[in-house]
């Protein structure tokens, strides 16, 4: 059996390891467009900030390690075509194009970072930020940049903006929406986020649309928006990710947005062809609908599922909750399940509750150990559908706990009565998750107040 895997990142990596575990002598061909294998893009911020000293540290496999495993690794090999009838792919290299056969094909087409279609988008020192090449280019620019504009206030844009701000540059983040990170944290959390940004010198301009990149002699000098003009010597376009699937549209069923359509077993419309990663949809547990949720954890799960099915199994892809977390300067936040940006996809009435609570007892004399919390639940059954957390403390594991609650269809009562340990150095007698559920139900016996 000849297994061909396209894309060496999270999906591809797990697919290789899963096949090897079951068939140690399997013939596996792994194709990668770039000159390095298995770059972990979610670690790129650590490289910008000097935590990782080299991008080589952000790979969880490389050419040598794959060769030692007996994998036929093909770097600088761009897969540009698929013929499912002949069971071949077309591979483009420096030597031209050639066909390669497969018995089972596992695709992770991934996505690309688009540039805004505005005048000046291709000027020198206008960058995108996705993958190893972008990370190296942007890192090199950090030595000379002085005034930076980041267009896009999602995860990627905020990570890059924070790295530049920590490096001492003047940074402005621009977005068409009125706040940053709007698809991850709801409006209740924005006061804390914006105050943190202001303290760290990061400027945010919401409800503005970039219109033109200004330049002199082909080099960036500024940006024009519908609200005015800004000086800049560096512009990062972090305007989302689009599926990189144009080469597949005549071979597989692909929707109008470019996402490859798969069934519950990650089978595509073509026999013996499986797909996963950023260019596919996943089952979103909180709503029961399929969504695109581009997270490394999801792609890893899909890689295992696709490989097991390519090996002859019949394994359903697990549902996900979109659980994620991030640090923003001195703040940490995490989220799972439904939020304001996805509530419209749920078939039913949803209620939510927001509160702020202390993590530890007052007698521990911790200056600031407050956690901001929000929970979503079904209005009729009180089944938990999602939650968000933000604090200066590292409360991010709470989102993992709540992800389990969503998957298990726990209710507010279940969470209010859940058995969590108490030690003053870590928590209160009523854990903040207990209190969140209690207060959502209108109960007050989780209070921190002392009676003297």
Q: Let me know if 239 is a catalytic residue.
A: no
Radius of gyration (C-alpha) of the chain in whole angstroms: 24
Split at pLDDT 50, 70, 90, the class of 451 is very low
Q: What is the pLDDT of residues 308-347, one digit of tens each?
A: 999 999 999 999 999 999 999 999 999 999 999 999 999 9
CA-CA-CA-CA dihedral for 59, 64, 67, 72, to nearest 10? 60
Which DSSP state fits 345?
G
Q: Whole-number mean pLDDT of the chain? A: 95
Domains of the chain: 2-112+244-310 (3.50.50.60), 126-237 (3.50.50.60), 332-440 (3.30.390.30)
What was the pLDDT predicted at 452? 43
Output the DSSP codes for 226-282.
Answer: SS-EEE-SEEEE----EE--GGGTTTS-B-TTSPBP--TT-B-SSTTEEE-STTB-E
In the set 10, 29, 74, 125, the catalytic residue is 10
The three-state (H, E, C) secondary structure of 368-411, written as one string? CCEEEEEEEEECCCCEEEEEEEEECCCCCHHHHHHHHHHHCCCE
pLDDT tens digits for range 15-60: 999 999 999 999 999 999 999 999 888 889 999 999 999 999 999 8
Single pTM value for the model: 0.93
- For residue 227, indicate whether it is catalytic: no
Q: Is 71 helix (H, G, I), strand (E, B) or coil?
A: coil
Q: Which helix (H) or strand (E) holds 202?
A: strand 202-205
């Amino acid at each position: 059996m000849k297994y061909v895997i396209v894309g060496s990142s999270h999906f591809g990596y797990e697919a290789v390891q899963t096949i090897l575990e079951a068939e140690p002598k399997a013939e596996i061909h792994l194709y990668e467009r770039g000159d390095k294998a298995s770059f972990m893009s979610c670690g790129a911020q650590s490289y910008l900030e000097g935590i990782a000293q080299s991008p080589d540290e952000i790979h969880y496999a490389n050419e040598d390690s794959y060769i030692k495993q007996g994998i036929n690794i093909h770097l600088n090999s761009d897969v540009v075509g698929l013929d499912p009838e002949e069971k071949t792919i077309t591979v483009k290299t420096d030597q031209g194009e050639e066909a390669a056969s497969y018995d089972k094909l596992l695709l992770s087409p991934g996505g690309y970072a688009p540039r805004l279609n505005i005048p000046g988008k291709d000027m020198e020192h206008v960058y995108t930020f996705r993958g190893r090449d972008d990370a190296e280019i942007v890192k090199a620019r950090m030595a000379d940049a002085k005034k930076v504009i980041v267009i896009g206030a999602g995860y990627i844009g905020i990570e890059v903006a924070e790295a530049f701000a920590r490096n001492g540059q003047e940074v402005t983040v621009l977005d068409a929406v009125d706040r940053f990170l709007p698809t991850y944290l709801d409006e209740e959390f924005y006061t804390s986020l914006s105050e943190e940004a202001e303290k760290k010198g990061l400027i945010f301009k919401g409800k503005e649309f970039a219109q033109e990149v200004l330049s002199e002699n082909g080099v960036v000098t500024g940006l024009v928006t519908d609200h005015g003009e800004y000086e800049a010597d560096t512009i990062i376009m972090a305007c989302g990710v689009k599926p990189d699937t144009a080469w597949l549209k005549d071979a597989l069923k692909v929707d109008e947005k470019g996402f490859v359509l798969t069934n519950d077993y990650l089978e595509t419309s073509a026999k013996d062809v499986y797909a996963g990663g950023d260019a596919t949809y996943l089952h979103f547990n909180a709503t029961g609908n399929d969504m695109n949720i581009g997270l490394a954890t999801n792609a890893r799960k899909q890689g295992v599922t696709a490989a097991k099915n390519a090996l002859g199994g019949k394994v359903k892809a697990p549902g996900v909750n979109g659980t994620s977390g991030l640090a923003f300067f001195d703040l940490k936040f995490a989220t799972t399940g439904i939020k304001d940006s996805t509530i419209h996809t749920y078939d039913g009435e949803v209620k939510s509750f927001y509160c702020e609570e202390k993590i530890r007892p007052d007698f521990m004399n911790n200056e600031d150990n407050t956690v901001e919390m929000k929970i979503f639940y079904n209005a009729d059954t009180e089944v938990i559908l999602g939650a968000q957390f933000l604090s200066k403390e590292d409360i991010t594991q709470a989102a993992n706990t709540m992800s389990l609650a969503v998957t298990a269809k726990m209710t507010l009562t279940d969470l209010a009565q859940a058995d969590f340990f108490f030690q003053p150095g870590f928590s209160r007698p009523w854990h903040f998750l207990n209190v969140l559920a209690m207060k959502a139900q209108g109960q007050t016996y989780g209070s921190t107040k002392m009676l003297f």
